[in-house]
Every structure is written in structure tokens, then in C-alpha cells.
Amino acid sequence: MWLTERLAPDFKTIADFRQHNGKAIQATCRDFVLICRRLGLFAQSVMAIDGSKFKAVNNRDRNFTFAKMKRRAEEIDKSIERYLRQLDAMDQGSAVVTEAQTTRLKEKIASLTEEVQQLQSIEIQRTEAPEQQVSLTDPDARSMTTRGTGVVGYNVQTAVDSRHHLIVAHEVTNVGSDRRQLSRMAKQARNASGVSDLHVVADRGYFTGEEILACHEAGITTYLPKPKTSPSQAKGMFPREAFRYVPERNEYRCPARERLVWRFKNVEKGLTLNCYWSSACPSCFMKSQCTTGINRRIKRWEHEEVLEAVTSRLDQTPDIMRIRRQTVEHPLAR
């Protein structure tokens, strides 16, 4: 700051520099990671993975989704109908109006009609888009939720080493959710760091069975909490965690010590699930605390033991989530 006498480039200069030197910047980042590998900076690190939403130059008014277009179309229809009723009242002489008021109403109707035509054109683009939404200023930007609000932008995924807080791998995506990002970012972090026995930690937004299984099959150890989404617990009933699985008998044991035996196997949303329940449910003294149906049914994924291992590891290392916060939120100053 002293050397440049506080001379700072504006955003356009920075953007142009990035655009004109993209390949060189990527090569610099790659060489930096290679230097860190040669120095052994990643040898004993846990990699923390997280996503951050970055706002694009695209204004929300220039982003269109199905719900937004439907809502706007309904608003236009109501406005046109209201203006037409006012014009009918004027034609019947039931209201004292001036020529200027009539002209203004007709101009409003014409403007709304033109907007309808524009929306119809945008709707064609939206239905052809893979994510079923269109951003007119920044075509790659997408509407996504962040901290309870919405932003039109990008989801920047980063993998950061817990020892030196260095960004080992990153990726920019326009997918708003983190649920399908875990295995890809973990594999990128392993390839970049050169650590074969990699341990990664992420928050509950990444918890997806298929992603955790992909990491397990790739030899990557994961730590992340399971989301608390049990509808039974919200109703004051026993959550699924209250039912203990007995692997040697392939059955569950409920809080009333009854056996939930295997009944059948089913495929739901591409996942193979085993279904268990007990015949003792209808006469159980704890039924009111368990289910409103005839039986309390438990569904178990065929790879459920992988998820149970993640929960067990997290219980044994309770400080790992604190390390995650200190690691991955540090580089972005959040």
C-alpha cells in the first residue's frame, strides 16, 4: 500500500486481468500446489470441504424460474383485467375521466401486453435450459438459496488443508446445493495434494448416501454429521436412531425390546432398501409414542453400514467439526 501510494485497480481492471490471463492464473495455482506437495505441507492434514455462494452481476429481476414466471404472468393478467374494467366503466360514462387518463390506461395495457410477449420468448429459453431457469445478463449464473435468502450467482467449492489453511482444490459450479459435491471435491483434493490416505470433513449439507459411498469406495475417509430430518421426532415420537440394528440377525430392536424382522427388499429412487417391522406393534403399550400407522416400519439402505461408520467416527472425534469451521471458513474470511 505504501509502495503504490494506495493506488488500487477498480473491478473492471481486475476482471479484465483475470479474463486475459486465465490460463496463466490456473498454471500459477497448479504450480503453487505442487510446491506445497514437495514441501510436505499436506502430509498430515485433514481436508475441509465447503461451498460459498458468490453473487453474479446478474440482477434478480433478470433471472427467471418457473415459479417466478408463473407468478409474474398471474400478476400481469390481473393488472390487464383491472385496467380493462376501468376502460369499460369509462366507455359507459359511469366515471368522469379525461382523455389523458384513458390514454394512460391504454399505454399500461400495451406495455403489459409487450411484457407478456417477452415472457413467452424467455419461457422458450427457460424450458430448453438444463436447470429450467434463465439468467439474461450472466447466462451461467443461477438462482440459489444462501442463509435463508436468495442470490443469483455461483457456488464456489473449496477444499482446504487443516494445518496451513491452504486452498488445495476449488471448483465453480452453478448448482445451488452441496449435496452432490462431496466425492468430486474429495477426489480433486486427493489428486492435488498427493495424499493417498485422505480424510475429509464437511457440514451436514453434504450428507448424501451415494456421495459418502463413492468416497468410501475411493478409499477416502469422511466426517460429517447426519441431518436431523426425522418427521417422527418432530411429532414427539421415537426417532429412527432409537431403533438398534442387530447385524448378526439382520433385524432391528425397538425401544419396547420387540424385534423388527426383515420383510422384503424394494428399490426407491434408485436405492435398494430393506424393510423391517414387527407384528407386535398393534398391541404394543408404547405404540402411541412410536407410530400412528399399523406398524412402525424401518427402511435400511443396502450400504447403511457405511453411513453408520461415518456417524461412529464423528462421535469418536467430536472436535473435528470445530476444526472444519476454523479451516474452511478462514480463507474466505467468513
Q: Of the candidates 117, 135, 153, which is a domain's last residue?
A: 135
Q: pTM higher than 0.75 for the full model?
A: yes
C-alpha 21/C-alpha 36 separation (Å) is 23
DSSP 21-74: THHHHHHHHHHHHHHHHHTTTTTT-PEEEEEEEEE-S--GGGEEEHHHHHHHHH
Q: Of the candidates 135, 150, 165, which is a domain's last residue?
A: 135
* CB 311 within 8 Å of CB 305: no
Q: Of the candidates 80, 111, 135, which is a domain's last residue?
A: 135
pLDDT in 10s for each residue of the chain, 334 residues: 787 788 888 878 888 888 899 899 989 988 999 999 899 888 777 999 999 988 888 888 888 988 889 999 999 999 999 988 888 877 776 555 567 788 888 899 999 999 999 998 999 888 888 788 899 888 888 888 776 677 889 999 999 999 888 999 999 998 888 999 999 999 999 999 988 899 999 999 999 999 999 999 999 999 999 988 777 777 788 988 899 999 999 999 999 999 999 999 999 989 999 999 999 999 999 998 999 889 999 999 999 999 999 999 999 998 999 999 888 877 776 5
Q: What is the pLDDT of residue 93?
A: 63
Q: What is the pLDDT of residue 330?
A: 74
Q: What is the pLDDT of residue 96?
A: 55
Same domain (yes/no): 77, 209: no
Q: What is the pLDDT of residue 321?
A: 92
Asked whether residue 323 is assigned to any structural domain, the reply reads yes
Same domain (yes/no): 113, 231: no
Q: What is the pLDDT of residue 27?
A: 93
Q: What is the pLDDT of residue 246?
A: 95
Q: Which of 195, 244, 239 is nearest to 220 (CA)?
A: 195
Q: What is the pLDDT of residue 206?
A: 95
Same domain (yes/no): 128, 207: no
Q: What is the pLDDT of residue 10?
A: 81
User: Reduced to 3 DSSP states, what percent helix, strand and coil does the chain have, rounded to the nearest 5?
Assistant: 45, 20, 35
C-alpha 56/C-alpha 142 separation (Å) is 9
Domain containing 298 equals 198-334
Q: What is the pLDDT of residue 94?
A: 52
Q: What is the pLDDT of residue 232?
A: 73
User: What cell does 314 get?
Assistant: 464423528
Same domain (yes/no): 203, 327: yes
Same domain (yes/no): 112, 217: no
C-alpha 331/C-alpha 160 separation (Å) is 8
Same domain (yes/no): 209, 130: no
Same domain (yes/no): 224, 123: no
Contacts 24+ apart (CB under 8 A), 162-167: 162/45, 162/46, 162/47, 162/48, 162/201, 162/323, 162/324, 162/326, 162/327, 163/41, 163/42, 163/44, 163/45, 164/36, 164/41, 164/45, 165/327, 165/330, 165/331, 166/36, 166/41, 166/42, 166/331, 167/331
Q: How many separate domains does the chain show?
A: 2
Asked whether residue 27 is assigned to any structural domain, the reply reads no
Same domain (yes/no): 94, 212: no
Asked whether residue 258 is assigned to any structural domain, the reply reads yes
